[in-house]
Amino acid sequence: MSEYVLEMKDVYKAFPGVVALDHVKLQLKPGTVHALMGENGAGKSTLMKCMFGIYTMDEGEIFIDGEKVEIHNPSEALEKGIAMVHQELQPIPARTIGENIYLGRYPMKKALGFIPVVDHEKMYSDAERVLKEVRMDFDPKKKLGELSVSQMQSVEIAKAVSANCRVLILDEPTSSLTQNEVEALFRIVDDLKSKGVAIVYISHKMDEILRISDEVTIMRDGHYIGTWDAKGLTTDFIITKMVGRELTNLYPETTNVPGEVVFEVEDFTSINPKSFRHVNFNVRKGEILGVAGLVGAQRTELMEGIFGIRSKVSGTVKYLGKELNIHQPKDAIDNGIAMLTEDRRASGIMGVLSVADNISIASLNQYIEHGIVLNNKKIEGLVQENIKTMNTKTPSSKTPIQSLSGGNQQKVLIGRWLANNPEVLILDEPTRGIDVGAKYEIYTIIADLAKQGKSIIMISSEMAELIGMSDRIMVMCDGRVTGFIDGKDATQENIMALATQFEA
């Protein structure tokens, strides 16, 4: 018997215009957590999709318990004990939790002695057992759509456990979880380890990697860099191996000088009594205003209200002292406001369209000639200039955006709004799910925009990011603004004190 439950050897995979994997290897030991790390575009997800049968390898071999196997699709992967929880969930909200867990492999029985039908009693009984196994106290007959995103992710893990997997791939499993939910996930991981399951853990969160991993494999630009015992590894060592150079600063030096107040929000109150209420704040020209708060603080909801996505019962928005009438996003855009949404997959990118289409979609009206004809030459000029300015890595402007890494997708979305030359940019979690190298590039773009005099509102759940980038930080708790902190005086402690200042 091999000491490895699964091995991938000499894996090569190419797409038009790019080599995604260049003779990569991976060796997984039973009962361990194996962190797979690398910048966005390093090839991590591609390697996992080859293991799970979503992609077919151009070259390479897979061995399970030392025996060579072929995996042509996810069904075959599941049969061989490999399960995967994807970063971008694909739930069926209208169906029950139990139906989602056993989707595509429902237990069957014979009705009238010969008609095959789904055995719902067994399905829900088995689902209840599996949910308890992963410490999730959910009713398996409840509609999945009634759960939060983090709870749906827990159901996905239960689905993997139900397949009696020997290898579990977790791709960015904590990107949408609160700290308490992260701790619950880690308990599940420990339980699975004790049962001999090998877990591939993909994350950009260094503290998680150093805490939970037994081994760490690092990839860069589609190449295998090395595998190390996690004990004794440091964040600096991992970052250096990931990016191929030493990063002396995680945040760029900011040289913006905030000027006069240009953007004001007064007494902003949601139509939903449980959401934001009586919010007042302003932003100066060339200022980066960070927005902090715990899950449920209503930060995103507030910004969506300002942008015209959500309804309000009171409140005004002013730019240069003039009140703006914003009833829908188009009104906000017409008044020089842009918003990068929190979930780029669900409400940002248009996955089946090209990079060019995604960049130009919000500014096409600038390129209409004679009232009906688009000037494609000028549009392509805009796109090429945008790709160059944002340093977006893409084989061409015609490449579907869904094939780009998360960091490059985010650059495209920022470029989309910059094509409109907005004066106020609302950035909701601009670096979520992005590696340290790409984060630095995004931070540099934000700092440059502030230096140009743009007013930036940046929501982030990473306090270090807020402290490293903000001129001021506005803290929210339970729909209210609880205070402002000067960027130079901000600490995790004084931010947290305001973020937990609930009404008596």
pLDDT at 159: 86
**Which of 424, 255, 267, 416 lies closest to 332 in space, CA to CA?**
424
The helix/strand/coil state of 379 is helix
Q: Of how many residues is the chain composed?
A: 504
Q: Residue ranges of the alpha helices (H) in 143-247?
A: 149-162, 179-194, 206-212, 235-243
Has residue 461 got a pLDDT over 70? yes
Average pLDDT, the chain: 89
Share of the chain above pLDDT 90, in %: 54
Q: Tokens 């980038």 label which residue?
A: 469
Q: What phi-psi label fits residue 113: left (phi over 0), alpha (psi between -120 and 50 degrees) or beta?
A: left
- In the chain, domain spans: 6-243, 258-336+423-504, 353-421
Element (H, E) at 389: helix 376-390
- DSSP 3-state helix, strand, coil percentages of the chain (rounded to 5)? 35, 25, 40
- Same fold: 6-243 with 258-336+423-504: yes
In CATH terms, 258-336+423-504 corresponds, of 3.30.70.20, 3.90.340.10, 3.30.420.130, 3.40.50.300, to: 3.40.50.300
pLDDT digits (tens, 9 = 90+) for 26-77: 999 999 999 999 877 788 989 999 999 999 999 999 999 999 999 999 989 9
- pLDDT tier for residue 504 given thresholds of 50, 70 and 90: low
Has residue 348 got a pLDDT over 90? no
Rounded distance, CA 254 to CA 244, Å? 24
Mean pLDDT, rounded, for 462-481: 93
Rounded distance, CA 379 to CA 366, Å? 9
Has residue 102 got a pLDDT over 80? yes
Assigned architecture for domain 6-243: 3-Layer(aba) Sandwich (3.40)
Has residue 488 got a pLDDT over 90? yes
Cβ distance 290 to 466 under 8 Å? Answer: yes
In degrees, rounded to 5, the angle at the alpha carbon of residue 320 between the alpha carbons of residues 318 and 321 is: 55
Kindly report the pTM of this predicted structure: 0.66
Q: Which two tokens stand for residue 78?
A: 């599941």
pLDDT digits (tens, 9 = 90+) for 404-435: 877 888 889 988 988 888 999 999 998 877 77
